[in-house]
Amino acid sequence: MTRIKICGITDVETASLCMRLGVDFIGLVFADSRRRITPEQAVELTRTILTQAKRPKIAGVFVNETAGKVNHTAEACHLDVIQLSGDEDGDYCGRITRPIIRATRIDQTSAAEEIQCRIAATGARDIHLIDRHSPGSFGGSGQKFDWAILENLSPALKIMVAGGLTPENVEELILRYHPWGVDVSSGVESHGRKDPAKIMAFIRAVRQADAKLKGVTNAAR
C-alpha cells in the first residue's frame, strides 16, 4: 500500500480530516514558508492527534536548522519523524534523534546514479523524498520532475515522491512507478489553503491505484 503524506498542515480541522481518512504522515513545517507554524501551534495540533489510538505519524519539516534545535522541537512538539529539506550532510543526520525523511531535490539533468550517491551519503535506511529542484526554494514549489528516473532507483529504497502531485496525476505515478510513498501540499490546496475536497480526492486516487495494482497481482497468481 502506498503511504500518503499531507504536508503543510496548519490547523486542527485539516489534521482531523487527514486522520479520519487514514493518512500515514502529517507534515508540519517549521522552516520559512507560508505554511510555517510555531512550536506553540504545533503543540496544539499534535495534542489533538495524540489522542487517537490509530493516528498518522507527525513529521516536522526543517531546513538548515541546528541539530540541537531540531531535537528540542521534536521533543517539545511530539514529532515522530524529522524531514530534512536543506543541505544537511550525513554527520548532521547522525545527530538527529528521530527517524528521518531526507529530501533530495533534483532537476531535469539529474541521473539515477547521482541521486543514489546522495542517498548513500545520508543513510539508505531513511525515507527518501524526491522533489523537483526550484531555484530559491527548498520544497513546496508544486513543480513536477521527470518520473522516469524512478525506474533506475533501487527498489529496496523507501522512495517518497513529491513535487507537482495532484488528485489528477497521482494514480498514474503509482501505477507506473510504484513508489513507497507520495507527498502532497500545494496539490491539495485552493487559494493557498488546504482544500478538504482535494484532500479526499487525492487519497481516493491513491487508494484506487493501490486497488488496481492489487488486482493485477492477484490475477497473475
Catalytic residue numbers? 7, 131
d(C-alpha 104, C-alpha 132), whole Å: 8
Give SS3 for 159: strand
By CB atoms closer than 10 A (0-12, 13-18, 19+), residue 131 is: buried
Total residues belonging to the chain: 221
- DSSP alpha helix (H) spans, the chain: 12-20, 39-50, 67-76, 90-94, 112-122, 170-177, 196-220
CB-based contact 119:128 (threshold 8 Å): yes
Q: Which residue has the cell 536543506?
A: 86
CB-based contact 5:184 (threshold 8 Å): yes
Give SS3 for 31: coil
